[in-house]
């Protein structure tokens, strides 16, 4: 997905727009949300299913936390037992 260079970046992203933004799949974003790594808002007008939006600033901060970290320090599935 191509982004306009002069466009103001949105603060809240859908899972579909956040996926190419960080270069991971929608499923990975959903897993990060489930693990509590991302700040997600459920915007649901009355009587509708709603839409989950990811806070771009929280996503940037989460990714930046791993910049330059050695691979041994990057643990994404802390809640799962080692196999």
Better-predicted residue by pLDDT, 80 or 8: 8
Domain ranges for the chain = 12-65
Rounded to two decimals, the pTM is 0.67
> What are 35-48's pLDDT values in tens digits?
998 889 988 877 77
* Residue 57: count of CB within 10 angstroms of its CB: 12
Mean pLDDT of 31-38: 91
What pLDDT is attached to residue 69? 66
Mean pLDDT of 5-24: 84
Closest by Cα among 66, 80, 15 to 43: 15
Tokens representing residue 59 in the block: 């996503």
77: pLDDT confidence band, cut at 50, 70 and 90?
A: low
Better-predicted residue by pLDDT, 9 or 28: 28
9 close to 21: Cβ distance less than 8 angstroms: no
| b/e code 9-37 from CB counts within 10 Å (16+ = b) | eeebbebeebbebbeeeeeebeebeeeeb
Better-predicted residue by pLDDT, 60 or 67: 60
């Amino acid at each position: 997905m191509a982004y306009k260079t002069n466009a103001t970046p949105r603060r809240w992203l859908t899972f579909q727009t956040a996926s190419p933004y960080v270069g991971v799949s929608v499923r990975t974003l959903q897993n990060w949300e489930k693990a509590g790594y991302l700040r997600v808002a459920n915007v649901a007008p009355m009587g509708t299913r709603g839409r989950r939006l990811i806070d771009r600033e929280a996503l940037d901060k989460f990714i930046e936390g791993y910049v330059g970290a050695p691979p041994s320090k990057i643990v994404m599935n802390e809640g799962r037992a080692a196999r």
